[in-house]
Structure 1
Amino acid sequence: MNSQTTSTVPVALTIAGSDSGGGAGIQADLRTFAFHCVHGTSAITCVTAQNTLGVMRVDPIPPEAVVAQIRAVYEDIGVQAVKTGMLINKEIITAVAEQVEALQIQNLVVDPVMVSRTGAQLLDNDAVNTLRHLLIPKAAIVTPNRYEAQILSSLPINSLDDMRAAAQMIHRNVRAKAVLVKGGGMQGNLRGVDIWFDGHKMETLTTKHVETKNSHGTGCTLSAAIAAHLALGSDLITAVRQAKEYVTSALSYALDIGKGQGPVGHFFPLLNK
């Protein structure tokens, strides 16, 4: 099935979980799409009860329901780019990978959402292996954080050289077409420094570091912004650069809400326009 349609506006699809606190997941993705004037569509994989303090409950959606959402969007509206976030279990990851193959999805951004930025593993080993072998090789780009990159590369990551080695290993062994190893979980001057590798070019991508405790949803927002720029017609490395600039701006307007870690300010950069 061809994802291109005669729609007068670009369309992006997020396949991810719902965050009741509104800081990450589907909610963050749709706001990011809207900021970039891209129509956002969604396939919800799980429903979470969470707020700025943490996650209290997670309920997976049946894989058949996830597939039905994806096909409902594709068969009527069509999309120019897709991003995945929390896919929660082996069954859903398998179902999504099958749809990527069947629908011939090209502009696929995989945020692997296996480990939080604090190092807590979010998927069991079966789900991680399914993500590694079935979905990531189909992606245009995969965007692991430090801990996810360690799992995918089987390398410890403590330095810039480690990040570069991990990006090369993920490209070679996991067969990722392009890799963006994110430095948000690194220490000191490496925070906010990302490594790009596509098998030909290795680049160190740097933006200013924004010091804030309110950074919930940065990974979701970055991958959604990459998808938005791909839907708008940007090439991959340009989409990544533009997405990083947007996330930095959104962090500068992070929301101090709730009693814990607030989200980035997805729409608040508009105040300067």
Structure 2
Amino acid sequence: MAKYELIYQQLLYEGLFSIADFFEPGLADKKSIYLAHDQQYVDQLLDLSLDPKMVRRIGFPLSKELVDRELYLSQGSIEGAVFALDNGIAFNIAGGTHHAGYDFGEGFCLLNDQAIAAAYLLDRGLAKKILIIDLDVHQGNGTAHIFRGKDQVYTFSMHGEKNFPFIKQSSDLDIPLADDLGDDAYLNLLEHNLKLVFEQAKPDFVFYQAGVDVLETDKLGKLKLSMDACKQRDYQVLQYCHKLGVPLQISMGGGYSTEIKTIVNAHVNTYRVALDLYTH
């Protein structure tokens, strides 16, 4: 999507970051991907031999370029997570591919970048208890599927009840939202449940899927959040992590407003919030 390049350009244009603040990942290796995904699914994905039904479920025609893109963004979240261990916070300008489950792709997601990065941290003993906060308007069904029954990862998804995916998975905590929910109700629900999940999970690492398809302007979202409320949502999440000293990796997730500048500005707001909290 064009938004990813535009986010990068906007961050530089506003002087929020310099080129030296960015890194370009390589391709994630099979060993890392196997930590979160079924080996047969991964092998068939990489050699472009998935069953046609699975390809239709994903929604994209398979190509090497598409698969490589998923490998790059997965490695980006791995490297970002490792960076955050020492520096407190890291972003993946893309990522948030939360519909990819253990043995399936879905909803334009082939591999689950944050699940792969979470499994990587656990496998190497770099984290013991991980909290994944998913505030995209669509449920993080793939993430819930990958970590169901695994006590080391606590999954929290706050999403549109009647939105895609229409068959939901069970996260450790799901908060389904009614259509047309507005700013105050959303932010009050989030504050209450953030307190709950941090108390229950007691994480030593957090992943945050920061989709901006919660905006009233979003073509797919069905919620009624203003730009200011979306920014306040990010502030609430980041403030918890900063206050508790818990490292945080953020992937951008969805955003489908009619005007691309709305999408970019909403995503850039997440970076503005991080700078405000982590550099003052």
Normalization by structure 1: what TM-score?
Answer: 0.41
Query: Which one has the bigger strand percentage?
Result: 1
Higher relative helix content: 2
TM-score (ref. length: structure 2): 0.40
